[in-house]
């Protein structure tokens, strides 16, 4: 039976989603370990997004094939009983045999949170990045307009890729709250470190280090060195994954 899992996690102490040889501290590895103990056979799960080390998720989706007499609710309860407290299974539901969490995804949303006031956000510090320089939101929005649409985002990828680096970025939304700025990115897919590099580039625009008009040339260059810095991981959360 193929099951669809909705997962939340605090990525602070993990080396990212993807299982790694010789490193037990990954989200995928932790979940697979519990499911393998539950079924007494090795289990592999497929995640929709390979979040980086230190990045969080509110709505990660995975699928897994299991041979078990347990109900979906019993599987969820077992996972939550034995997973670490910073990984939670929101739901387990039967899925069609053809469902694949990554290959069937048609869109994803990430949110990057910035603490923009001088206060130390003690209880939110693991989920926000401090940024106290003044920001020109108007300039950032102009830069975002150049970035939205279908482009080759090779300049915003931390690794050279032999596969296509063309992606469709549907929206970059800016929301201001007391002491906080949130940047929400929605698109059909994201490259390695892409959201963090987009965020770093927009912050450089907002702080006057570069102009919005540079963005088309950065996209055209297809070289990582021309884009902005990679924003720290703790401000980033995978919030939602979309399916048709």
Q: Which residues are catalytic?
A: 52
Half-sphere CA count of 100, side-chain side, radius 13 A: 4
Residue found under tokens 């899925």:
95
Which among 76, 66, 55 has a CA at the least distance from the CA of 5? Answer: 76
Query: Among candidates 198, 189, 205, which has minimal Cα distance to 238?
Result: 189
Taking each continuous run of H as one helix and of E as one strand, the counts in the chain are: 5, 10
Q: Are strands 236-243 and 56-65 parallel, antiparallel or unpaired?
A: parallel
CA dist 51 and 15 (Å) reads: 9
Would you give the DSSP letter of residue 231?
A: -
The angle that helices 27-39 and 72-82 make with each other, rounded to 10 degrees, is 120
Token pair of 213 as six digits: 């008009």
DSSP assigned state of 213: G
How far is the C-alpha of 39 from the C-alpha of 78, rounded, in Å?
Answer: 11
Cα–Cα nearest to 11, from 32, 31, 25, 29: 25
H or E element at residue 146? helix 137-147
């Amino acid at each position: 039976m193929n099951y669809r899992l909705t997962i939340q996690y605090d990525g602070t102490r993990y080396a990212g989603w993807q299982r790694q040889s010789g490193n037990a501290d990954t989200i995928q590895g932790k979940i697979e370990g519990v499911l393998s103990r539950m079924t007494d056979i090795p289990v592999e799960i497929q995640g929709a997004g390979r979040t980086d080390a230190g990045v969080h998720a509110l709505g990660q989706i995975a699928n897994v094939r299991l041979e078990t007499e347990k109900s979906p609710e019993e599987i969820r309860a077992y996972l939550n009983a034995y997973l670490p407290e910073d990984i939670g299974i929101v739901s387990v539901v039967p899925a069609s045999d053809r469902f694949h969490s990554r290959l069937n995804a048609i869109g994803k949303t990430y949110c990057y949170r910035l603490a923009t006031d001088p206060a130390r956000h003690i209880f939110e510090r693991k989920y926000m990045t401090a940024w106290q320089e003044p920001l020109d939101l108007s300039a950032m929005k102009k830069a975002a307009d150049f970035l939205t649409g279908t482009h080759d985002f090779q300049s915003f990828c931390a690794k050279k890729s032999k596969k296509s680096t063309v992606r469709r970025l549907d929206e970059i939304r800016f929301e201001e709250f007391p002491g906080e700025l949130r940047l929400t990115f929605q698109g059909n897919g994201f490259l390695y470190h892409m959201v963090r590099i987009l965020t770093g580039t927009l912050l450089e625009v907002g702080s006057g280090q570069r102009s919005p008009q540079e963005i088309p040339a950065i996209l055209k260059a297809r070289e990582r060195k021309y884009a902005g810095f990679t924003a720290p991981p703790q401000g980033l959360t995978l919030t939602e994954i979309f399916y048709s």
